[in-house]
Amino acid sequence: MSQFLEISGLKARIDADGQEKQILRGVDLSIPPGEVHAIMGPNGCGKSTLSYVLAGREDYEVTAGSVLFKGQDLLAMEPEERAAAGLFLAFQAPVELPGVNNANFLRTAVNAVRRARGQDELDAVAFLKLARTAAKELSMAPDMLKRNVNVGFSGGEKKRNEVLQMTMLEPSFAILDETDSGLDVDALRIVAEGVNRLRSPQFSALVITHHQKLLDYLVPDRIHVMAQGRIILSGGPELAREIDREGYTKFLAEAEAA
């Protein structure tokens, strides 16, 4: 049966200063609709690369494998088409856009995906009402909407802004790349609640994290461990706690032996 998201044998590399560098070495992963999965794994194993490849970043060359998203060939789509199809990526390092007003950016984005999805565009008034409510639920200061996109935002403010965008863009599949890192305890809870509010049988998420804390709030359906560009192990929520206690060494060694 075709899953909601089906990644098979995905390999990708990057041209780093003339050197071909293989980063993803055959990723297999499927996520059914309505589920939240987490990926954990040591620094540099390829987690962010996977999220970029799924979102369509052109720097990475896909050399093998396929990705089906709601039955569509995801890899054949432009980044903005993927967004319109419901894919959202909360960036590990959100990008600054100097001079671009945050509310204006958000409205442009919301209306772009609404248009592509055949929905009516939001006028300025309707949009602002929604955006203000969403920002308030994330305990964001009201002036965040007036400032330039991510410019001068604190680490935590950037992450909250990502979640605000996610809320407004109504994705069916969200990838959160270390959205929890850099958040204080309250912010962590607020962000997790933001994700939980989106949960429904039509919404799935892939959460990349290093910390147990976020997973306590989100309670993922599955945990996957990534190492050296592959998923080496999958399990239930208890796997995360095991990693938290014992680190990756044990799992890496087992994977090596296998």
Partner 1 sequence: MPAVTETREAVEKLGQSTYKWGFETEIEMDMAPKGLNEDIIRLISTRKEEPEWMLEWRLAAFATWQAMREPTWAKVSYPPIDYQDLHYYAAPRRKPGPKSLEEVDPELLRTYEKLGIPLHEQALLAGVELPEGETARPPVAVDAVFDSVSVATTFRKTLEEAGVIFCPISEAVKDHPELVRKYLGSVVPAGDNFFAALNSAVFTDGSFVYVPKGVRCPMELSTYFRINARNTGQFERTLIVVEEGASVSYLEGCTAPMRDENQLHAAVVELVAMDDASIKYSTVQNWYPGDEEGRGGIYNFVTKRGACRGARSKISWTQVETGSAITWKYPSCILQGEGSVGEFYSVAVTNNCQQADTGTKMIHIGRNTRSTIIAKTISAGRSDSTYRGLVRVQPKASGARNFTQCDSLLIGDQCGAHTVPYIESRNMAARIEHEATTSKISEDQLFYCRQRGLSEEDAVGLIVNGFCRDVLKELPMEFAVEAQKLLQISLEGSVG
Convert residues 79-118 into a mask of x (bound to Mg ion by CB under 5 A) and - (unbound).
-------------x--------------------------
Q: Does 23 bind ligand ATP (CB under 6 A)?
A: yes
Contact 31, 206 (CB under 8 A): yes
Among 78, 246, 254, 256, binds partner 1 (CB under 8 A): 78
- 144 vs 240, which CB is nearer to partner 1? 144
Which entry of Mg ion, ligand ATP, partner 1, none binds 258, CB below 5 to 8 A by partner kind?
A: none
SS3 of 129, please?
A: helix
Sort residue 80 into left (φ over 0), alpha (ψ -120 to 50) or beta.
alpha
* Site membership for ligand ATP, residue 219 (CB under 6 A): no
Nearest-approach distance from CB 160 to partner 1, in angstroms: 16
- Output phi, psi for 192, to 5 deg: -60, -40
Partner from partner 1, Mg ion, ligand ATP, none contacting 61, C-beta within 5 to 8 A by type: none
* Element at 52 (helix H, strand E): helix 47-55
Which residue, among 222, 239, 240, 165, has the nearest Cα to 195 in the 3D structure? 165
Of the two residues 45 and 140, which places its CB atom closer to ligand ATP in the complex?
A: 45
Q: What is the DSSP letter of 143?
A: G
Asked if 225 and 248 touch (Cβ cutoff 8 Å), the reply is yes
Cα gap 38→221, rounded to integer Å: 8
Provide the minimum distance between the beta carbon of 130 and ligand ATP in the complex, in angstroms, as a whole number. Answer: 32
Q: Which does 148 bind (CB under 5 to 8 A by kind): partner 1, Mg ion, ligand ATP, none?
A: partner 1
Residues that bind ligand ATP (CB under 6 A): 14, 16, 21, 23, 41, 43-49, 59, 92
